Structure 1
Amino acid sequence: MTQQRWLFIGDSITDYQRRDDPQGWGYGYVRMIRQWLAGRGSAPEVLNRGISGETMRRMAARWEEDVLELTPNLLSVKIGVNDVGCHFNPERTDDAVGLDEFRSSYDRCLSGVKEKLPECRIVVCEPCGIFPPRVQESAAMLKDYIAVVGEMAARYSEFPAVPLHAAFVDAMAAKPEIDWTVDGVHPSPVGDALIAETWMRTVGLV
C-alpha cells in the first residue's frame, strides 16, 4: 500500500518554526498529530507548508506550488487569523483581507483541489485567536470568517470545520488558570495540544 501524504498549510500556528526542524514538521500541532499517528503505527508522510504571517491572499498565490504540485492525499487548511488581525495592525493594513475576498479565494483554492486531486480529502480549520488590544472589534469580525470556513467545509469536506475557536473559548472558560496562548493568538504547548486533539477528533482519529 502506498504511503499516504498529508499536507498542512496555513499561517504561523501551522508553520511553528518548521524550517528549523530537520523533519520539516515544525514544533506545534502538526508534529503532535504526526507523532500520535506514529505511535499508532500508521504515520503518513507529513508535509508542513505553513508560513508565519500568512493571509488567504498570499496563500492562494502559492497554492499551485505548495499544494497542487505536491499531490497530497489529505489537505488541512488553517487560515484566517491574519486576514482579520491585519485590519487592526497599523503596520499591516495593506495585507488585510476582506470577507468577500477571503471567501472567493478560499473557494477557488479548494475547487482547484477537487478538480485536480479528486481523491484528496480536505480538512478546514476555524481561525482562532484573541487580538489585544482591540479584542471586541476583532473578535466580532472573526465570527464572519469562521462562518466562511464553515461554508467551505460544507461544500468541499467530508468533515465539519475543525471547531478550534470554540475549543479555545470553552477551554479558557473552563480552565482560566492555564495559559492556552502566549500572546492571545499563538498557542502555548498546551494550546497546541488542544488544536491537535480537536483536529483528530473532528476527522475521527480519536
Structure 2
Amino acid sequence: MSLLINEGELVLFQGDSITDAGRSHDNNDDLGLGYANIIAAWFSALYPEKKVSFINRGIGGNTVEHLQARWKTDCLELKPSWVSILIGINDCWRRYDSNNPTSADKFENIYRDILTQIKENLNAKIILCEPFVLPYPEERKKWREDLDPKIQVVRNLAMEFNALFVPCDGLFAQGCTKRDPAFWSNDGVHPSQAGHALIAQMWLKTMGVL
C-alpha cells in the first residue's frame, strides 16, 4: 500500500479523552500522551522531509453533540487535509453513569452532520476510528448492548463517506486473546500506553505508513 499522506499536509485528530490523552489545551502544539502523539512521532521520524503537521483537538468527556457544537472552530477553520475522528464511548457511558442515553439513531444523525460539514466545506479526507470497550472491569460487559449499535453506525458511515477505517474494537478484542484486558486498559475505556500504541500502529498501517 502506498503512502496516503502528502507533503505539507495537516492531520487533525478529533475526539474525547482517548484522543485528548492529557494534552495542554493552552498549547496548540501539544499532542498529548496517547495515540495521536505516537502517530505523529513515528510519521515524522520516518518521513521528516514530508513536513506534515499534526494537531490534536480531542477533549475529555466529549460526545458527538460536543463535537458538533465546536466543529466550526475546532475543525473547519483549521482547514485540515485529513480529519481523524474517534468518538462514541461517552455517548454510551452517559447512559450508565448519568441516566442520559443517546440512541443509535441520534448518534448517527449527529455524526453524519459533522461528516457532511467536512465534505461540504473542506477538501479533506476522513479517517474514522470505531469506538471500543474492553471487558474490564466486569460491569463493562453490559455496555455492549449500547455500544455495539454505535460501532455499526461508524462502520456504515465510513462506507457512506468513503472514509478510511480503523477497527479499534476489533483490535482490542484480538489483543485480549494475547494479554488480559487490564493490560490494554485499566478501566475498559482509556488505553494503556500499549493500548495507545496498538491504535497508532493500525492507524499508520491504514495510511500506508507501516
Scaled by the length of structure 2, what TM-score is found? 0.89
Greater relative contact order (CA < 8 Å, ≥ 6 in sequence): 2
Which letter maps to 1:181?
S
Aligned partner of 1:59 in structure 2 is 67
Correspondence 1:146-185 to 2 at 5 A: 146-159=151-164, 161-176=165-180, 179-185=183-189
Correspondence 1:118-137 to 2 at 5 A: 119-130=123-134, 132-137=137-142
Match for residue 191 of structure 1 among 192, 195, 207: 195
CA contact (8 A) 1:5 1:74 kept: yes
CA distance in 2, matches of 1:177, 1:141: 20
Which letter maps to 2:133?
G
CA distance in 1, matches of 2:186, 2:26: 21
Aligned partner of 1:26 in structure 2 is 32
CA contact (8 A) 2:133 2:188 kept: yes
What CA RMSD, in Å, does the superposition of the two structures yield over aligned residues?
1.9
CA distance in 2, matches of 1:129, 1:116: 32
Question: Is 1:78 equivalent to 2:86 in the alignment?
Answer: yes
Which letter maps to 2:34?
G
CA distance in 2, matches of 1:162, 1:70: 23
Instruction: Provide Cα deviations, 1:102-126, integer angstroms capped at 9, x if missing partner.
Output: 1000101101100111x20100000
Shift of 1:43: 4.8
- CA, structure 1 residues 137+204, in 2 after alignment: closer, same or farther (shift >3 Å)? same
Instruction: Provide Cα deviations, 1:13-53, integer angstroms capped at 9, x if missing partner.
Output: 00011117953111100000000011112352111010001
SS in 2 for 1:193: helix
Question: Is 1:50 equivalent to 2:58 in the alignment?
Answer: yes
CA distance in 1, matches of 2:196, 2:69: 27
CA contact (8 A) 1:15 1:48 kept: yes
CA contact (8 A) 2:92 2:147 kept: yes
CA distance in 1, matches of 2:110, 2:53: 27
CA contact (8 A) 2:130 2:169 kept: yes
Instruction: Provide Cα deviations, 1:63-115, integer angstroms capped at 9, x if missing partner.
Output: 111001110000000000110111111xx333x32211110001011011001
Scaled by the length of structure 1, what TM-score is found? 0.91
Shift of 1:135: 2.5
CA distance in 1, matches of 2:162, 2:26: 30
Which letter maps to 2:154?
V
> How many pairs does the alignment contain?
201
CA contact (8 A) 2:23 2:33 kept: yes
Match for residue 88 of structure 1 among 96, 100, 121: 96
Aligned partner of 1:112 in structure 2 is 117
Deviates most, 168-177 or 5-14:
168-177
Where in structure 1 are there 5+ consecutive unaligned residues?
A: none
CA distance in 2, matches of 1:32, 1:142: 26
